[in-house]
Amino acid sequence: MQLFIEIYGFLSVVLRGFILAAQSVSVGGLAFLLLLVWPLADALGPSGAVLERRALRLVFLSACGLVAAEALAAASLTLMLAGTLDIPVREAAEARAVAVDLMAALLGAVVALSAWRGRRGGVAIRSAAPVLAALLIGVQAGATHAVSQFEGALALAGAELLHMGGAAVWIGGIPYFLMALTDVADPRARAEIASRFSVMAAGAVAALLAGGLLMAAYYVGAPEALYGASYGVMLSAKIVLFLGLLFLGGLNFLAVRKLRNEPAGPLLRTRRFAETEIGVGLTVIFCAASLASLPPARDLPNDRASFAEIVDRLEPRLPVRLDSPDFEALSAALPAEATKDLPPGTQPRRAADIAWSEYNHHWAGLFVVAMGVMALLERMSRRLAPIMRHWPLVFIGLAGFLFLRADESVWPLGRLGLIESLRDPEIAQHRLLTLLIVAFGLFEWRVRLGRVTKWWAPYVFPISTATAAAFLLTHSHALTNLKEETLIEITHTPLALVGVAAGWSRWLELRLDGEAKKIAGFVWPVAFILAGLMLVFYREA
Amino acid sequence: MGLFRLVSLVACLALTGGGAEAHAIVLNSTPRPDAIVSGRELAIEIRFNSRIDAGRSHIKLFGREGAAVSLPLDESASEDMLKARATGLAPGSYRLHWQTLSPDGHISQGDIPFRVDR
């Protein structure tokens, strides 16, 4: 049961992320059809019909995804409650949150069905779209922090509505905007769509910001909670990502203005920035799901990390730990009887355990710095480029290090043999991960050498990096030691943010041309170096 | 957090991480953690930072032998509180394990260790 509880913790945050993403794309699509495609039908001509069909297809698919994710969320919460509380399944299924999930699934099914019929010529969706979109967002607001509050529940639910609605119309609308840029051939109609979408997005950003500010003021309470509590740290990460999105949106706004004066002008940058906006937008949505699983910072006035504690944890200190403590000094060397009565996760950590973990982080950081420096030199020095282009091979060095060092109880450090250790699922998972890192490094190396020529191969690296960074933000919170958890978030959240920057700048390097491509090509190696330095100076106490 | 836990997260294989997703947190409780109490009976009160669904919550008492007893919850408790009564307590170490559901669907749980001394 403990394993199920742990899996549920992670699964529920990821599911919430999928639900918010699917809901945003569904509602964003309905808003796009309602405010752009249908009113501009005459100006768009035949390409308008093509765009409508494609948009309805994406609305259908995202609504189906919403139905599946909501059903899974309802089922997993019901099972979790029935299993842990020893109550009948029916009683567990009567929980308010389960009802909200089921209602949202039902609404999702109605949206999917309407979109499906709309693709076959049905017009019911045209009048139903605003009601369905509002209901979807409204129902979802029924399962947020707001409903648990005693004070200001109504105002907070209203703020949630504005926030989620704004995110859906803006971020959820971008895939449809990209479709329009591809499908609409007439430059004047395309410029009109771009201009309208710009206005629509600006309104959505205003709504998102207004709702977000109201919630932040209530849930965070004091400026020092923005860095001293996990909720504040996650919110700060969300704000940084939001600023990144605004920057990309601003670039698009300028491109759209240019398009108005010169309708037949180039569209490449607008498309590429929009693609990146989708990626960063999805990361923000998953970050929001993670944020929703945390108690508001306002409720934790006594468990916050102070500014001095944060500076002490983050301040780079030399020398870094490149010498490992002896195995005999680690808790793993203790006989099993010494800790058998302690619940999982509560075993005390010795100073040597912390030193051992820091040693591992610092060495791993050196590998990551090496990759970033090599990738940077590849771009800066023609003489060194032929050697530096082999930087993905450093992944194999990192994997080798992790293979030897990751599990202290296994050979060559511990008493467990290699084969024997594979019976432990966690150790087996680590071994699998090591193999994945080797495969990933070799794959990217072959891509760089031009030995893998599939069109999708170069995108594996940026997508994996950006996804991994998003997952680093989307983790469950154990909350056994609130201050310690905040200090961990403070070290890990910046890693995730530079990961997002690295992934999407590499994407832009692949997708853009000219000067913009060159700039993006410098951003991601620098982000790698920063991530490596964070690991090199990582401290656990 | 160990390096491999971090790398596991980074590699999207994060199923090993964390505990149950949490939202409701304990503001105060009777007994307080690590309290020493006397008497054979104990009135238990756990107050949270937000509304909770007491119908989908529980308090379990773990005694010295490790066996758990589910304590019936007092239905008259306010919307942010779990109330129960433990009876027949002998001297020794005990642990209260609570689990609760917030109306927004978040499950949280925790332990309150205490001692009975006479």
**Lowest pLDDT segment from A165-169, A355-359, A363-367:** A355-359
Average pLDDT for residues B79-107, to the nearest whole number?
A: 90
Q: A299 to chain B: which residues are within 8 Å by CB? A: 25, 27, 49-50
CA A171-A172-A174 angle, to 5 degrees, is: 70
CA dist., res. A410 & res. A422, Å (int) = 10
Q: At what angle do helices A96-119 and A124-140 cross, to 10 degrees?
A: 160
Answer whether A145's CB lies under 8 Å from A291's CB.
no
The answer to whether the CB atoms of A147 and B12 lie below 8 A apart is: no
- Closest partner residue to B13 among A12, A81, A433, by Cβ? A433
> Which residue on chain B is closest to A364 by alpha carbon?
B3
For range B4-22, the mean pLDDT:
40
Look at A492 and B6; give whichever has higher pLDDT: A492
In chain A, which residues have their Cβ closer than 8 Å to the Cβ of B57?
A: 85
With 0-12 / 13-18 / 19 or more C-beta atoms within 10 angstroms meaning exposed / middle / buried, residue B95 is: middle
For residues A445 and A346, give the distance between their C-alpha atoms in angstroms, rounded to a whole number. 42
CB contact under 8 A, A499 and B10: yes
Using a CB-CB cut-off of 8 Å, the residues of chain A touching B52 are: 148
* Chain B residues touching A95 at Cβ < 8 A: 53, 56, 101, 105
Q: List all residues of chain B from 20 to 79 with a beta carbon under 8 Å from chain A.
A: 20-25, 27, 49-53, 55-58, 70, 79
Ordered DSSP codes for A382-409: TTTHHHHTTGGGHHHHHHHHHHHHS-TT
Q: Percent of chain A having pLDDT more than 90?
A: 51
Give the gap in angstroms from C-alpha A498 to the nearest C-alpha of chain B: 13
Best probe of the B interface among A2, A4, A10, A320, by most B CBs < 10 A, is A10
Residue with tokens 């989620």: A164
Buried b (16+ CB within 10 A) or exposed e, A68-88: bbbbbbbebbbebbbebbeee
Beta bridge partners of B42: B86
Check if the beta carbon of residue A283 is closer than 8 Å to that of residue A240. no
Cβ contacts from A onto B, under 8 A: 174
Contacts of B105 in chain A (CB under 8 A): 12, 73, 77, 95-98, 100-101, 143
Residue A416 has pLDDT above 80, yes or no: no
The pLDDT confidence band at residue A85, using thresholds 50, 70 and 90, is: confident
Touching A: B residues 11-30, CB under 8 Å = 11-25, 27
Asked if A468 and B1 come within 8 Å (Cβ–Cβ), the reply is no
- Please report the pLDDT score of residue A479 as a whole number: 53
Q: Residue B13: pLDDT band by 50, 70, 90 thresholds?
A: very low
CB contact under 8 A, B4 and A432: no
Q: Is the pLDDT of residue A335 over 80?
A: no
pLDDT for B4? 42
- Residue in B4, B17, B10 with CA at minimum distance from that of residue A480: B17
Task: Dump pLDDT digits (tens) for A134-181.
Answer: 999 999 887 788 888 888 888 999 999 999 999 999 999 999 999 998
Give the integer Cα–Cα distance in Å for A215 and A160. Answer: 8
Which of B21, B70, B73, B82 to mutate: most A Cβ within 10 Å? B21
Helix axes A268-292, A2-32, angle to 10 degrees: 140
pLDDT band (50, 70, 90) for residue B8 = very low
**In terms of pTM, does the model score above 0.90?**
no
- Does A334 score more than 80 pLDDT? no
Which residues make beta-bridge pairs with B107? B101
Q: How does the average pLDDT of chain A come out, rounded?
A: 88
Whole-complex ipTM: 0.80
CB contact under 8 A, B104 and A294: no
Distance, in Å, from the CA atom of A95 to the CA atom of A138, rounded to the nearest integer, reads 18
Q: Which residues pair with B62 in a beta bridge?
A: B68, B95
> In A227-264, which positions are buried (b, 16+ CB within 10 angstroms) versus exposed (e)?
bbbbbbbbbbbbebbbebbeebbebbbebbebbeeeee
CB contact under 8 Å between B49 and A12, yes or no, is no
